[in-house]
Amino acid sequence: MTDHTSPVVLITGASSGIGRATTELFAAQGWRVAATMRNLSQGADLAGLPNVEVLPLDVTDASSVRAAVAETLDQFGRIDALVNNAGYGLFGPFETASDEQISRQFATNVDGIFAVTRAVLPAMRSQGSGTIINVASLGGLIALPLFSLYNATKFAVVGFTEALSYELAPLGIKAKYIAPGGVATDFAGRSMVQTFDGVENAYGDTLSKVVSAMTGVRTDYSSPESIAEVIFSSATDGTGQVMYLAGQDADQAYALQRSLSEAEKLEMVRQRSGL
């Protein structure tokens, strides 16, 4: 049962995948949810859920960030958790990425998190409580060939969140990150942008090997709902835990990496990537 004392979460990128599943789970658990997205037409069904407010927010647009946070505080009076989920992947050789592609990747996956977090912090500070949850990736802990720019953004999110957790703790605010492995969402489709037009360049051989390794049959993708469960636990478990691996593949790969020497790890990644 939701009422005006129920906790409040603001979620970015709620239109699909992990953000949508997280919206549905928090709402089902009785939270009041500001489900934010770039295109409101993708949230018509979410707007029908009790205590879900669908609001416009493009994480690369400072004025829309400010307006969405102000509207959430106006509607609900507080923000107990922020889920910085919006993001997408850039795939392909670093050298062939355009300046615009590089800027947009960082503007969305990194600067976007900075902007929404800074907009929410004053309210959390005055409450003396709150949890910032950043959706990073296993790609923020283990780098893969041809994901240099995406990896750079997610390693940034991991370092940022861990550092932030120390300075926010004395204010009663927690900072946490989620590191999902592969998740069955639109991520590998419409949320994956390529830095190359074809394979007719110096990286062609690497590209075709990695692409064919990636298109091999994988059966261990997590559902967005199971990642939402991890996000919900991170908001409610009351612990100071900062890193939350999400998905069996993430658990296994991270444990394996930690058990290997650097040379063994590099060889493992090369082999799994078809190189």
Ligand X SMILES: NC(=O)c1ccc[n+]([C@@H]2O[C@H](COP(=O)([O-])OP(=O)(O)OC[C@H]3O[C@@H](n4cnc5c(N)ncnc54)[C@H](OP(=O)(O)O)[C@@H]3O)[C@@H](O)[C@H]2O)c1
Please list the active-site residues. 150
- Nearest to ligand X of 76, 187 (CB atom): 187
- Asked if residue 43 binds ligand X (CB under 6 A), the reply is no
- Asked if residue 60 binds ligand X (CB under 6 A), the reply is yes
Taking the complex as a whole, how short is the minimal distance between the CB of residue 186 and ligand X, in angstroms? 4
Q: Give the length of the chain.
A: 275
- Nearest to ligand X of 38, 125 (CB atom): 38
The single residue among 49, 56, 66, 88 that binds ligand X, judged by CB under 6 A, is 88
Tokens read off for 265? 């790890």
Q: Residues 113, 134: contact at Cβ < 8 Å?
A: yes
Tokens read off for 102? 């590089």
- Asked if residue 108 binds ligand X (CB under 6 A), the reply is yes
The single residue among 7, 43, 130, 180 that binds ligand X, judged by CB under 6 A, is 180
- Asked if residue 39 binds ligand X (CB under 6 A), the reply is yes
- 112-151 footprint of ligand X as x/- string (CB under 6 A): -----------------------x-x--------------
Q: What is the DSSP string of 139-159?
A: GGTS--TT-HHHHHHHHHHHH
Q: Residues 228, 24: contact at Cβ < 8 Å?
A: yes
- Nearest to ligand X of 108, 165 (CB atom): 108
Q: What is the 3-state secondary structure (H, E, C) of 38-89?
A: CCHHHHHHHHCCCCEEEEECCCCCHHHHHHHHHHHHHHHCCCCEEEECCCCE
- For residue 42, CA distances in Å to 2, 72, 178, 192 come to 24, 19, 24, 19
- Nearest to ligand X of 2, 221 (CB atom): 221
Taking the complex as a whole, how short is the minimal distance between the CB of residue 79 and ligand X, in angstroms? 17
Taking the complex as a whole, how short is the minimal distance between the CB of residue 112 and ligand X, in angstroms? 6
Sequence-separated (6 or more) residues with CB below 8 Å from residue 240: 165, 169, 174
Q: Which of 17, 57, 59, 20 is nearest to 36 (CA)?
A: 57
The single residue among 87, 92, 130, 145 that binds ligand X, judged by CB under 6 A, is 87
- Asked if residue 29 binds ligand X (CB under 6 A), the reply is no
- For residue 166, count other CB atoms closer than 10 A to its CB: 10
Alpha-carbon span 88 to 244, nearest angstrom: 20
- 193-232 footprint of ligand X as x/- string (CB under 6 A): -------------------------------x--------
- Asked if residue 18 binds ligand X (CB under 6 A), the reply is yes
Contact residues for ligand X, defined by CB under 6 A: 12-13, 15-19, 37-39, 42, 58-60, 85-88, 108, 135, 137, 180, 182-183, 185-187, 191, 224
